[in-house]
Amino acid sequence: MTDLNTFSAVVAGTGAYLPEKILTNRELEKTLDTSDAWITERTGIRERRIAANEETSSSMAAEAGKQALQAGGVSPEKVDLIIVATSSPDVLFPSTACFVQNKLQAFNSAAYDISAVCSGFIFGLSIAEQYLKTGRYENILLIGSEVNSRIVDWSDRHTCILFGDGAGALLLKRVAQKKKSAAGILSTHIYSDGRLSDLIWVPGGIGKTGINKQDMVDKKYCIKMSGNATFKVAVKRMAEVIQEALEFNDISTDEVGILIPHQANERIIRVVAERLKFPMEKILMNIHKYGNTSAASIPIGIDEAKRNGRIQSGETSVLAAVGAGLTWGAAVIRW
């Protein structure tokens, strides 16, 4: 077995891209039977970003990726692997990551997508961690990018109010580990439960039934969700996996600099914080600005926290997400 204590996987650069167009709750009131007050109170969301016609998951991912490479001082040809976590890919195939590779001209990399929906970034981090800690690769660009606005049913007030578009990226780098407390990814923890696959899903089966008119009429190519059931399981799994990550690393909530949770609903985050006795001041919250950007939400949060000085060298951060699948996971990073 490879000794995983030889190398660390450090975050060398971060980046984010948010489309310019802002869609506020007030604007949604004009087309939906909803209100700014309901959305704000039940979700914490006030506005979200909507991709322009020419923008796609790959175009936003490339912008975020470019920033992460610049921040890390790594040129595109030095990238060994590009992983894109997305559930709103440009096309069914090839992967969005291959389009990103072309846009960045990172032609020495392998590139592929992973599908774990809102947990996609954590799942991607766990993959990158293995490649870097085993010494297989030196530079990995991990990106979460989504154009949720293209896969929501804009007439369904239960779902469309929740989602937004955007991308976030991390440049992860292999470095020789000098001591046990060195900076880097300390651990990742990922889980799935396929029994809950219809809690949140896009039921129109491309491979199952082929593309067909009736599915279009029934909006089966859009996100469907059982909101209440999802809420309950999201709270349970997120609290559990954060607890596991803390115990695995033998750290208390006091020792965590910032918790960056997937931004699905402010109330989910508040209940999780209460259960774990995690002070809200130590939790990154940007859902009011962006809504749920699925796989992009955690790297957007990391980039924001870095830029705002909420992450300092030597500090420890916890990341956590729950998503369709059901999938869930957490990661602990030391900076």
Residues that bind ligand COA (CB under 6 A): 34, 38-39, 42-43, 118, 157-158, 161, 200, 225, 227-228, 230-231, 234, 264-265, 268, 292, 322-323
Question: Hunting for tokens 């392998």 — which residue is that?
Answer: 110
> In sequence order, what DSSP letters do the residues of 105-171 get, joined into one string?
T-TTSEEEEE--GGGHHHHHHHHHHHHHHTTS-SEEEEEEEEEGGGTS-TT-TTTTTTB-EEEEEEE
Distance CA 263, CA 261 (A): 6
In the complex, the smallest distance separating the C-beta of residue 13 from ligand COA, rounded to whole angstroms, is 27
Name the residue nearer to ligand COA (CB basis): 154 or 231.
231
Q: Contact at 8 Å (CB) between 253 and 277? A: yes
Name the residue nearer to ligand COA (CB basis): 177 or 265.
265
**SS3 state at 205:** coil
Q: Contact at 8 Å (CB) between 271 and 140? A: no
Instruction: Determine how many CB atoms are found less than 10 A away from the CB of residue 281.
Output: 6
In the complex, the smallest distance separating the C-beta of residue 22 from ligand COA, rounded to whole angstroms, is 18
Distance CA 145, CA 266 (A): 21
Name the residue nearer to ligand COA (CB basis): 201 or 335.
201
In the complex, the smallest distance separating the C-beta of residue 107 from ligand COA, rounded to whole angstroms, is 34
Nearest partner of 186 among 6, 1, 10, 53, judged by Cα: 10
Name the residue nearer to ligand COA (CB basis): 62 or 287.
287
Q: Whose CB is nearest to ligand COA? A: 227
Which helix (H) or strand (E) covers residue 26, if one does? helix 25-29
Name the residue nearer to ligand COA (CB basis): 127 or 264.
264
Q: Contact at 8 Å (CB) between 135 and 45? A: no
Distance CA 161, CA 212 (A): 27
Nearest partner of 167 among 73, 259, 93, 100, judged by Cα: 100
In the complex, the smallest distance separating the C-beta of residue 79 from ligand COA, rounded to whole angstroms, is 29
Name the residue nearer to ligand COA (CB basis): 62 or 319.
319
Residues belonging to the active site:
118, 262, 292
Q: Contact at 8 Å (CB) between 212 and 301? A: no
Q: Contact at 8 Å (CB) between 184 and 334? A: yes
Name the residue nearer to ligand COA (CB basis): 39 or 183.
39
Burial of 136 (0-12, 13-18, 19+ CB in 10 A): middle
Question: Hunting for tokens 């595109």 — which residue is that?
Answer: 76
